[in-house]
Amino acid sequence: MSERLTKSAARNIFYGGTIFFLVIFFGLTLHSHNYMLNESTNMDELTPSVVAGKHIWERHSCVNCHTILGEGAYFAPELGNVWVRYGGKEDPEGARDMLKAWMAAQPSGIEGRRQMPQFNLTDQELDELVDFLKWTSEIDTQNWPPNEAG
Ligand code: HEC
């Protein structure tokens, strides 16, 4: 072994290192992808109604005010766990009615309180939104958010 780094040794370190870390990068990418599809996401429950709810969510840009699983704007409450906060686990029908009634009753007009617009959604659209929010709450987020308020 020569005492100084030769050109070819430097090249080998460069290519070897690049390949080594690329392999790690692609391995982790594949792992994340598989984990999302097979473990954290509840694919069996992905009904047409949940998909329709997601489209309503996007069409009305709910994310411009709300966060969902931490992504979005910080004007209004996190909705990734709103189903759980409204007691959906204990009383699914009660939580559904409450969520629909809440959305149908906005804006509240209470002075000093942030307001949510009225989107004039049909009963079916409200049901689909609730299905989407319920489905989202069942994603395995590894106990995120750390507290109920999100
Ligand atoms: C212009 C901002 C804005 C947009 C857009 C918006 N919201 Fe809201 N939303 C709010 C605010 C503000 C509150 C909290 C109001 C309050 O507590 O009085 C709220 C509250 C809620 C709540 C109750 C949350 C809780 O923790 O009690 C739900 C459910 C909800 N929004 C759903 C939606 C959905 C679904 C959409 C899209 C169709 C949407 N919001 C779009 C501002 C918005």
CA separation, residue 15 to residues 37, 76, 78 (Å): 33, 49, 45
Number of the ligand 1 atom closest to the C-alpha atom of 78:
26
Tens of pLDDT, residue by residue over 96-113, are 999 999 999 999 999 999
Report if pTM > 0.75: yes
Residue 67: how many CB atoms within 10 A of its CB? 19
Measured in Å, residue 116 CA sits from the centre of ligand 1 at 5
Q: Residue of the nearest CA to atom 30 in ligand 1?
A: 103
Model confidence band, residue 147 (pLDDT cutoffs 50, 70, 90): confident
Q: By percentage, how much of the chain surpasses pLDDT 70? A: 98
Tens of pLDDT, residue by residue over 113-142, are 999 999 999 999 999 999 999 999 998 888
When the candidates are 3.40.50.300, 1.10.760.10, 3.40.228.10, 3.40.47.10, the CATH number that belongs to 46-150 is 1.10.760.10
Which one of 61, 84, 116 would you pick to mutate in the ligand 1 pocket, going by the greatest count of ligand atoms within 8 A of its CB?
A: 116
Place of tokens 């996007």: 58
Instruction: Kindly list the domain boundaries of the chain, sorted by start residue.
Output: 1-40, 46-150
Angle at 87 between CA 95 and CA 35, to 5 degrees: 100
Number of the ligand 1 atom closest to the C-alpha atom of 56:
38
Describe the chain by its helix, strand, coil percentages, rounded to 5.
55, 5, 40
63 lines ligand 1 (CB under 6 A): no
The amino acid at residue 61 is S
